[in-house]
Structure 1
Amino acid sequence: MQKIAFCMHLNPGAEAEYKARHDALWPDLRDALYQAGVRDYSIHLERESGRLFATLWRSDDHRMDDLPGLPVMRKWWDHMADLMETDATGAPIQTTLEPMFHLE
């Protein structure tokens, strides 16, 4: 298993709606993430800056690179685009975070 972390940015005032949409995560999206090897996925908000901090574990044979091509992923990105910064494809802009410390 591999642990990865990244940041995204939420638009001001979108906190409650972002949480509500994730609380009602579509079962077919949940299945797609799981089938791609994603496990233990968490997103946290730093309210003052609107930064979202995400961590997830993925299997060594993950297929996360296939997710952007799935219709359910594209639909989710369209559904979330009004709440956060996205790129020209509609994907959330993500900044990869470099591991600096870990305590087991």
Structure 2
Amino acid sequence: MIRKASIMFVNKDSYEEYKRRHDEIWPEMVTELKAHGAHNYSIFLDKETGRLFAYLEIEDEKLWEQMAETEICQKWWKYMKPIMKTNPDNSPVSINLDEVFHLE
């Protein structure tokens, strides 16, 4: 299993909406995430800054990278764009973090 972590950014006036959208995540999005090897996916919010800390475990880097190319992922990004800091392709601005410690 590969552990991944990143930082993203939600607009400060959109915390509740961000949570609502994830509470109601589309079943087809969940199916696609799992099909691309995602497990134990969690997102945490720092309410002071709007920073989101995302953690997930994946099975394979190449398989995970293909998730971004799926129709459902593209649709999700477009849906989330109004409430997040995004790139020109609608993907969330994301800073990948390097693991420096892990306790099994």
For the superposition of Structure 1 and Structure 2, which TM-score range results when normalised by the shorter chain?
over 0.9
Unpaired runs of 5+ residues, structure 1, are none
The alignment's TM-score, normalised by the length of structure 1, stands at 0.95
Amino acid at match of 2:82: D
Q: Percent identity?
A: 37
The alignment's TM-score, normalised by the length of structure 2, stands at 0.95
Aligned equivalents of 2:97, 2:61: Cα separation in 1:
21
Number of aligned residue pairs: give it: 104
Which portions of structure 1, spanning 4 or more consecutive aligned residues, are displaced by more than 3 angstroms? none
Q: How far does residue 60 in structure 1 lie from its aligned partner after superposition?
A: 3.5
Q: Hey, what does 2:56 align to over in structure 1?
A: 56
1:23-66 CA distance string (max 9 Å, x none): 00000000000000000100000110110000000013761111
Worse overlay, 65-74 or 29-38: 65-74
Amino acid at match of 1:99: E
Kindly report which structure 2 residues correspond to 1:71-82, keeping only aligned pairs within 5 A, or say none: 71-82=71-82
Secondary structure of the structure 1 residue equivalent to 2:19: helix
Between Structure 1 and Structure 2, the one with more helix by share is 2
Contact 1:9 1:85 survives alignment (8 Å): yes
RMSD: 1.2
Contact 1:37 1:62 survives alignment (8 Å): no
Unpaired runs of 5+ residues, structure 2, are none
